[in-house]
Amino acid sequence: MAIVVQKYGGTSVGDVERMKRVADRVQRSHKAGNQTVVVVSAMGGTTDDLVGMASAISSSPPQRELDMLLTSGERISMALLAMALAERGVEAKSFTGSQAGIITDEVHGKARIVDMTPARLQECLDEGNVAIVAGFQGVSRKTKDITTLGRGGSDTTAVALAAALGADVCEIYTDVDGVFTADPRIVGDARKLDSVSYEEMLELSAQGAGVLQVRSVEFGRNHGVRIHVRSSFSYRTGTWVGPQEDKVEDAIISGVAHDTSEAKLTVQHVPDKVGVASQLFAKLADANVNVDMIVQNVSQEGATDISCTVPRGEVDKATAVLEPLAKQIGAGDVIVDSDIGKVALVGAGMKTHPGVAAKMFSALSDAGVNIQMISTSTIRVSVVVDAAQVEDAVRAVHDAFDLGEEHEEQGAG
């Protein structure tokens, strides 16, 4: 008997009718003889409504209470799904993150899973029932408080459960058919990928491809969980995420991701001394700011500009840390630019194919896109550009590497 973990996002359970369709799908898995665990997000819109009420009450609500508030959303959707299954004669029990044994650290708003004790779920499955689990949430081992896993945390809940239960597959249901070579809303001929390696998916997720939370991919890679990203609106095969050797095609480039949710911070005239940069980023880490790209210019006259990108929602937190520190170390002003976007080219093949970065930069240049920052890994090249030019940049790069539907895959070098 196979163990299947299915995760449905907020759009898939967006209203009562959609909830019933999800119940049909779960019933199908259950009837096929699978031990089925379902992870659900809050119904689409619910989280926004709750955040709206919180904002009306407080400009900076305590994180503990924000977590308490937001976790009510999954509670609603999971109970309704259990009812829809009962109506179909399938016995199902819903479990909060805490009841499901999702144990986290105590960082409210972006807690990390530190342990999984899904004994109650196992018992539920052994009784022949479907287990429904609230995504996105856990409970702190130390404080016993309710925590949330951050945006997209339900993906991580699902993959972590799949790992803990030794599931055969973790199906991530979403409103698109899988992982694409670029966002189909921007690039008309973007192509669905049949498979992608954990490493590539990590880079794609980190660079803004919204289908999977980065941490869920890390979890999948670390525990060898086979992930199937697919649409809840069709029965078509989606994109499989797994080890490199599972890949059915061996393209050099997997896709182009983009992200317009970040802002650029620049600390000007930082004295060029050992340890100064590390001090800046240590303080940001202490304040739980997620720093993404970092660029340091060549030193001129004993001072240098250091730029980094952070999620736009964390800009205030970051400047509150950086401004006093800049004064203290004798640096200049802290400049914030929220009008930027990030475009990244990802592909495991680029490791062995030189010239990918050069070809990308030249495509951007031909399209009249100015590059503000560059950062690379062995399987990724990212650039920061003006927000208004992000879509042009995505299209230019996607075209340059012939990633679209109509073309054969071609080399990049």
Binding site for a copy of itself (CB under 8 A): 16, 19-20, 50, 53-54, 56-59, 61-62, 64-66, 68-69, 71-73, 75-76, 78-80, 82-84, 86-87, 93-94, 96, 99, 120, 144, 146
**Nearest to 220, CA basis, from 238, 242, 235, 237:** 242
Closer to a copy of itself by CB, 153 or 220: give it: 153
Q: What distance in Å separates the CA atoms of residue 2 and residue 166, rounded to the nearest whole number?
A: 10
Closer to a copy of itself by CB, 134 or 179: give it: 134
Structure tokens, 333: 């002003």
Closer to a copy of itself by CB, 313 or 413: give it: 313
Closer to a copy of itself by CB, 132 or 400: give it: 132
Torsion over CA: 365, 367, 368, 374 (sign): negative
Closer to a copy of itself by CB, 70 or 348: give it: 70
Half-sphere exposure of 379 (CA within 13 A, CB side): 21
- Least Å from the CB of residue 58 to a copy of itself: 4
- Least Å from the CB of residue 83 to a copy of itself: 4
Q: Are 33 and 4 in contact (CB under 8 A)?
A: no
- Least Å from the CB of residue 155 to a copy of itself: 22
Closer to a copy of itself by CB, 96 or 290: give it: 96
389-406 in b/e form (b: 16+ CB < 10 A) is bbbbbbbbbbbbbbbbee
- Least Å from the CB of residue 40 to a copy of itself: 12
Amino acid at 295: V
- Least Å from the CB of residue 187 to a copy of itself: 38
Q: Which residues pair with 70 in a beta bridge?
A: none
Structure tokens, 170: 């973790």
∠ CA(177), CA(183), CA(186), 5° rounding?
Answer: 130
- Least Å from the CB of residue 49 to a copy of itself: 10
Closer to a copy of itself by CB, 98 or 304: give it: 98
Span between the terminal Cα atoms of the chain, in Å? 47
- Least Å from the CB of residue 82 to a copy of itself: 4
* DSSP letter (8 states) at residue 165: H
Residue 35: Cβ within 10 Å count: 23
Closer to a copy of itself by CB, 96 or 377: give it: 96
- Least Å from the CB of residue 151 to a copy of itself: 19
Residue 301 region by backbone torsions, left for phi larger than 0, else alpha for psi between -120 and 50, else beta: left
Rounded to 10°, the helix 390-400/356-366 angle is: 130
- Least Å from the CB of residue 226 to a copy of itself: 30
Closer to a copy of itself by CB, 50 or 374: give it: 50
Q: Are 323 and 380 in contact (CB under 8 A)?
A: no
Torsion over CA: 236, 208, 160, 226 (sign): positive
Closer to a copy of itself by CB, 63 or 290: give it: 63
**Nearest to 87, CA basis, from 19, 3, 13, 10:** 19
Q: Are 176 and 185 in contact (CB under 8 A)?
A: no
- Least Å from the CB of residue 121 to a copy of itself: 13
Closer to a copy of itself by CB, 117 or 365: give it: 117
In SS3 terms, 375-407 reads as: EEECCEEEEEEEHHHHHHHHHHHHHHCCCCCCC
Question: What size, in residues, is the chain?
Answer: 413
Q: Are 327 and 317 in contact (CB under 8 A)?
A: no
